[in-house]
Amino acid sequence: MRRGRASVSDERPADWTRWTVPLLVVLLAGAAFLPALRHEFLSWDDAKNFMENPWYRGLGPRQLAWMFTAYHMGHYIPVTWITFGFDYLLWGMNPAGYHFTNVLFHTATALAVYAVSRRLLRAALPDAAPRDLRIGAGLAALLFAVHPLRAESVAWVTERRDVVSGLFYALTILAYLEAVEGEERARPRWYWASCSPTAPAPSQRRRPRPRHPPRHRAPRPRLRPNRCSSRRRSRSSRPRALSWRRPAR
C-alpha cells in the first residue's frame, strides 16, 4: 500500500507556481523600492506635511478630528492621514519608517493585482493550464509593480495617497470578480464586500478649487466702419475707365 501511494504521489508533480509566482511578485516589488529607505523627507511637500505639521502626530481624538476635517494643502485624505498617524507612533520622525510603510502598501497592491490578473486570464482563457495562468498573471503584476511610473507614488512619502487608494481599488475589483464569477446572480456577500473597499477611496481626493464670481466688465464699444470712408475706398478701389481725347492741334 505504501508503494502504491508513493507511486501515485510521484505521478503528480508539485506545482511550484502556486506559491512561487506570488512570492516572487512580492519580493521583486519590494526589492525594486528598497533604496527608498535611505531617503529623507523631500523639500517639495514633505516639509509642510510632516516637519511643520504637528496635527497628524498620533491617533488621539484631537488628531482624528483634524484628519477628518482638514483640507491640508488642498487635499482631503483622512485614511492616508491615519496611516501617517500609525507611522508616527511606530517610527516617530524617522523617514525610513514612512518609506517602509509605502513599500508595504505597494507590495500588497502588487499581490492584489496578481490575483485580479489571474482571475481575468482564467475568465478569458478557460482552457489554459493553471500554471500558465499563474505565470501570465505574475508577469502582469510585475509589469505593474516595477514600472517607472510607480516610483513617484512609492518613493515619495507625500504620495502615499496613491498607493493607499490603489490597494483599495484592486481589492474592490477582486471582490467584484468573486461575486460575479460563474454565477447568474451576484453573490450578496462578495458584492457588498466589493462596495466596502471603495468607501475610503473617494476620501483620497483633492479639494475642488473655489469658483470665483464672474468679473463684471464694461462693454466694449463696437467700432463700426464709417460709411463715407468705406464708400470712398470702394470708389477708389474700382477700376476707372480710360477716356480718350483728341490731341489738340
Query: What pLDDT does 121 receive?
Result: 93
Query: What pLDDT does 17 receive?
Result: 80
Give 131's Cβ-side CA count (13 Å radius): 5
Query: What pLDDT does 207 receive?
Result: 53
What does each of the 249 residues of the chain score in pLDDT, given as a tens digit? 444 444 444 444 567 888 899 999 999 999 999 999 998 998 788 989 999 899 999 999 999 999 999 899 888 999 999 999 999 999 999 999 999 999 999 999 999 999 999 999 998 898 889 899 999 999 999 999 999 999 999 999 999 999 999 999 999 899 888 887 766 666 767 666 667 655 555 555 555 444 444 454 444 545 454 554 444 444 444 444 333 444 455
Residue 3 lies in a domain: no
How far apart CA 180 and CA 236 sit, in angstroms, is 81
- The closest of 20, 29, 23 to 145, measured between CA atoms, is 29
Provide the domain limits for residue 55.
9-206
C-beta atoms surrounding 138 within 10 Å: 22
Residue 246 lies in a domain: no
Residue 69 lies in a domain: yes
Residue 22 lies in a domain: yes
Total structural domains within the chain? 1
How far apart CA 169 and CA 187 sit, in angstroms, is 19
Query: What pLDDT does 199 receive?
Result: 56
Query: What pLDDT does 234 receive?
Result: 47
- The closest of 163, 56, 170 to 111, measured between CA atoms, is 170
Query: What pLDDT does 142 receive?
Result: 95
**Cα-to-chain-centroid distance, residue 86:** 22
Note the pTM of the prediction, 2 decimals: 0.72
With both helix axes pointing from N to C terminus, report the angle between 160-180 and 78-91 in degrees, rounded to the nearest 10: 120
How far apart CA 59 and CA 83 sit, in angstroms, is 10
| Contact residues for 18 (Cβ-Cβ < 8 A; gap 6+) | 134
Residue 131 lies in a domain: yes
- The closest of 194, 138, 201 to 165, measured between CA atoms, is 201
Query: What pLDDT does 176 receive?
Result: 87
Query: What pLDDT does 244 receive?
Result: 42
How far apart CA 174 and CA 193 sit, in angstroms, is 10
Which amino acid would we find at residue 75? H
Residue 90 lies in a domain: yes
Residue 73 lies in a domain: yes
Residue 226 lies in a domain: no
CB 109 within 8 A of CB 170: yes
